[in-house]
A and B are shown apart, each in its own frame.
Chain A
Amino acid sequence: MLPKVPRETLLDLCRRMFVIRHFEESLVPLHDKGIFSGHYHLYIGQEATGVSALSCLRQDDYLFSTHRNHGHLLARGAEPKKLCAEILGRSGGYNQGKGGSFHSVAPSLGFLHTSAVVAGIIPLATGTAYASKALKNDRITVCLFGDGALEEGAAPEAFNLASLWKLPVLFLCENNGKYGAGRATGAAKSSTMAAYPLTDLPSAYKIPAKQIDGIDSGVVHTTISEAMEKIRSGEGPQFIEAQTVRWPGNETNWPSVAQPTDSSLAWDVSAVPEKVREWYRSSDPLLIFARELVEAKHATRDEIAAMEKKVKAEVADAVEFAVASPYPKLEEATQGTFA
């Protein structure tokens, strides 16, 4: 279901989901052609979680993300060209090329530090929350991590601290392995936790914890709004596990796009290769959102297509900007270790 927000906001949420989808899909050929190096992780399939959740934040709230950060930054309004330049290691990037795909930050949007150690940000998020409480500035920290992060000791240690000190932090665990994706096909396992359901872990530390459907934008929006309200009123931390179905392109070691997204797939998936068709038919949060917008008569199919066309052009411009951006000067490698 759609979030209960004005039509203009719904259309903006849809646009942001398109930005994430087409941005992420555009990275795969760039990597395959060797235009950037290193591993990278795409946010495809989780757009409804990130976009809906982050629309519930205040402008001055803090966010922490992980190796799978592109979607979070874009959902929050990051500039695709600066993000793409960062991923390509160019001087025009958000971190001047020193962070790359794993570590993109945008302090003006609340992203101070992005760690590629799966649970690395969880203690740090309790820290910004501790500072907000000490400084009485009413800012909430939203800590976005995957289900794998719960397997590292930093997670339970930080949950304990956050709960004891009633810190204003939302732990948003994005479990992109609903149905235990990967296990059946022999690919990488998703979660390997004895504490299952995953909400058992924060619950043990008396942190209110909920499990929700992460592809349902309305449920995400309602749940996150309520959680933020409780945190803002001083009730301490909250934990939400948002479940999504893994995008088939993330099943392989390196991302691959078997089916480029087009909004027309929202109405007809018959042209999609059979082995990935079911995901696009039933589990793609972007196509679901577009269908719901049309069914609710907030937009026509043509309007959705026109919106998507503009986004594709914007993403193409971003890629062009990034590819044309120079690499940082070599002397920059030895500068900026200390403030």
Chain B
Amino acid sequence: MREIAYYEAKFEALNEIMAADPRVHLINGTFLSLSPRREVFQNLVKRYGDRIMSPPISELSFCGLAAGAAMAGLRPIVDLSTGSFIFEGWPQVANEAANAFYMSGGQTRVPVVYHLFHGLRGGGAAQHSASPQAMLWNNPGLEIVLPSSPKDVKGLLKSAVASDNPTIFVDHVRLLEVKGDIPENDAPIPFGVADVKRKGNDVTVISTSYMVQRCLQVGDKLAAEKIDIEVVDPRTLVPFDMATILASVEKTGRVVIVDETHQSCGVAAEIAARIAETGFDKLKAAIRRVSTLDVPVPYSPPLEEYIGPREDRIVEAVRSVLQR
């Protein structure tokens, strides 16, 4: 075990992936957004500059270019940077890449990765704060991955590049400096395997991406009040590990879902529906969602914080499912 920062783990993965496979090309961005850790990207450029491309500001064409290159044998990773920018490339991601394999009767594979930073980041306002993963989950044909720790970002990025399917890699800038242990023999983390990030017996708190870190902090605080939450991180939405979640619900009978997509038709809504359909008999209380409120993201810092899955909203939801 060694403790490193999330951004370091992510760039260890990128370095190892590019060294191992000459088919991997990076298209656009630095995979760091505006983080000052620019030197880790520059080091990558020094080593693999001929496979790192800076296209014009044309998401529509470079999202398509990457999908086409994937059809012809490369393994491109696109950095859309801000998650909202995927809307500019939407037709190529949602209507071409996602459909190609099914529509061709299983003949054309599109092993492309679209990487983006989603969510509330501090001052992003309405056009730089999107969490498009719920819309993308509603669009069959895309694998969706959300790491929440250094270990997960490294292992999941390796699996994303190895996948033969178009994969959306949903990252969060507030994770970049998070520190965590990664094992010495770190292997790719398979998709569709949820991770219990904190064990507990009272409430199952299902959370994704940066919200996993927030829920772990909430868990520590509630432990002082003898409330023992179990934090379950699905890690991938497509494929989705229902078994791990149901096993936890069986134990606790109480569910809170914490996720940064908007509330209506959001990630929490889908997970809640699945639990209600297949695990209703295990529930002792109604499921609670803590999502981003259904408004465009406001700029003003206190307003931005107010609409998100705040700590106090999570605590209130946990208490309410416990009826205390």
Contacts and interface: CB of A to CB of B under 8 A. Distances in A.
Interface string B60-86: 111111111111111010000000000
B104 A127 contact: no
Given A336-B102, A338-B101, A132 B55 contact: no
Contacts of A132: 72
Contact of A124 (B53, B64, B164): B64
Interface in A163-221: 164-165
A120 B91 contact: yes
Contacts of A97: 105
A113 interface: yes
Nearest to B74: A131
A127 to B, nearest CB: 2
A312 B200 CA distance: 73
Interface string B89-108: 00110011000111111111
Q: Which of A96, A129, A130, A135 has the most CB of B within 10 A?
A: A130
Interface in A102-123: 103, 105, 107, 112-113, 115, 117, 120, 122-123
A120 B68 CA distance: 11
A125 interface: yes
A337 B69 contact: no
Contacts of B100: 112-113
Most B CB contacts (10 A, CB to CB) among A112, A122, A132 go to A112
B69 A127 contact: yes
Contact of B68 (A117, A127, A139): A127
Given A127-B71, A130-B69, A131-B73, A107 B107 contact: yes
Nearest to B164: A339
A135 B73 contact: yes
B104 A95 contact: yes
B102 A154 contact: no
A128 B69 contact: yes
Contacts of A124: 64-65, 67-68, 71, 92, 96
Contacts of B105: 93-99, 105, 336
Contacts of A271: none
**Interface-centre pick from B53, B60, B65 (highest chain A CB count, 10 A):** B65
Contacts of B64: 120, 122-124, 126-127, 154, 158
A207 to B, nearest CB: 14
B308 interface: no
Given A123-B92, A127-B70, A134-B25, A113 B65 contact: no
A159 B65 CA distance: 11
Interface of A: 62, 93-99, 103, 105, 107, 112-113, 115, 117, 120, 122-132, 134-135, 139, 141, 153-154, 157-158, 160-161, 164-165, 336-339
Interface of B: 25, 51, 53, 55-56, 58, 60-74, 76, 91-92, 95-96, 100-109, 111, 140-141, 143, 164-165
Given A124-B68, A126-B65, 12 more contacts: A95-B105, A105-B107, A107-B104, A112-B71, A112-B100, A120-B95, A124-B64, A131-B71, A135-B74, A158-B65, A336-B102, A336-B105
